[in-house]
Structures are given as C-alpha cells and as structure tokens.
Structure 1
Amino acid sequence: MSEQPSTAHKAFADIAPVLADYTDRVLFGDVWERPGLSPRDRSLVTVASLMSRYQANELQFHLGKALDNGVTREELIELITHLAFYSGWPTASTALGVARRVFAERDATE
C-alpha cells in the first residue's frame, strides 16, 4: 500500500475505518487485481454499471479511474451514448454531466 491515504480513507475512514480497509484490501486489492479481466475492461464494466444505476457519486471516481486505466474520453462518451438506448436517456444525460466535470478537472491539472 502507498503511504498516501487512499480515496476510500479520505472519503470515509473517519466514520467507517473498517469499510475503508475492506474497500482497499478486498475491492481494489483482491477483486480489481484478479487476472480474468484487465483493469481497463473492469473500468468499462464498472462505468457502465454505475451509469445504468444512476450512481453519479461513484461514477465520478470511476470515470477518472477508467482514464487512468487507459480508456479514452472518446470511448467513455461512446459507452454513455450506447447505454442511452439500454439504461435510458436520463442516465446518459446525468453521466455526460459527470463526464464533463471529470474531463474539466483533468484538463485543469494537466
């Protein structure tokens, strides 16, 4: 583990330290590191699932993680456009707003 606090620890370790540890060790340590899918593929699946379920809070983090894992902005927009027909226009519209913010934050720090 890194010496820097993880995103989970920054977000909620003060109130739920065990959940933050599970998030780091089990979710991102075990599940995300399984060899059956690449981190890039896991990001695509995760973004699609979060978008379809209207989970905008988690979507913001995972859009950024997808970019870190090699998914391009164009691919993320294509995913959102494709899912508009399966999860609905409102979920796509919400996801586009979240993507716009994530991209803008990236542009501001690059």
Structure 2
Amino acid sequence: MTGKPIPQSAQRDRVRKTVPALVAYTEGVVYSDLWERTDLNKRDRSLVTVAALVATYRPEQLAVHIGRALDNGVTKEELAGLITHLAFYAGWPAAMSAAQVLTEILEKREA
C-alpha cells in the first residue's frame, strides 16, 4: 500500500457490509497498488479503464471512472471521442449508454 488516500465511494460503502473482502481488495489492491503503479500515468490509466468499461458494457461503474478520468486530466472532448470510436468496435448500444453516462456527469459538474 502506498499510504495515499483512497477515493471515497458511496457505492463501495453501501456494499461494504455485504462483501467486505471485495471492498478490502478494491481499496487495498486496486486503489492502493494498481492505480499507483508508475508504468502508466493516471490520465492514461483512466482512458484505458473508461474504454474497458464502455467496451464491456458496464455503465454502472462508468460514472465513477468518467469522473475520475476528468479529475485525472482527460477532457470531455477526449471522452466523447473515445465513446464515438468504441461505437464501431464495442457496439452502438454500449456507446450510446456510455454517452448518456458522460452527459449526466458533465451536467452535474456544470451545475
């Protein structure tokens, strides 16, 4: 573990009692180890993660990672381009769902 603060998540906190080991791995491995590796910077890691979530049709996880991508320096134009590009490789429905999630996140941030 790196000792860096782990991003808060209401979704993770909600399931903590039900699946404590899964949450512990998320916080102890995913956020404290994987996201802190230096082989990719956080901006690029965010792009890869968002692309994987779009391609595997995981809109329920996408909102958190789109927000994190924006915080890590990915622009809304880059996210829109990523989603449009993936429409041709991952499927139109996945891209349209991702576009809805991106729109919701941007609207909340602009409010």
What is the TM-score when the length of structure 2 is the normalising length?
0.88
Give structure 2 stretches of 5+ with no counterpart: none
Give, in angstroms, the shift of residue 106 of structure 1. Answer: 1.1
Query: Helix, strand or coil: the match of 2:54?
Result: helix
Corresponding residue for residue 13 of structure 2: 10
Give, in angstroms, the shift of residue 96 of structure 1. Answer: 0.3
- Whether contact under 8 Å (1:52, 1:83) holds in the other structure is yes
1:48 to 48, 51, 55: 51
Give, in angstroms, the shift of residue 9 of structure 1. Answer: 4.1
Give, in angstroms, the shift of residue 15 of structure 1. Answer: 1.4
Corresponding residue for residue 94 of structure 1: 97
- For each residue in 1:22-43, what CA deviation from the matched residue of structure 2 results, as whole angstroms up to 9, or x when unmatched? 1111001101111100010000
Check if 1:77 corresponds to 2:80.
yes
1:5–1:28 distance in 2 versus 1, CA, 3 Å: closer
1:26 to 26, 29, 35: 29
Count of aligned positions? 107
Query: Helix, strand or coil: the match of 2:33?
Result: helix
Identity over aligned residues, as a percent?
Answer: 48
Give structure 1 stretches of 5+ with no counterpart: none
Over the residues paired in the alignment, what is the CA RMSD in angstroms? 1.7
**Which stretches of structure 1, 4 residues or longer, exceed 3 Å deviation after superposition?**
none
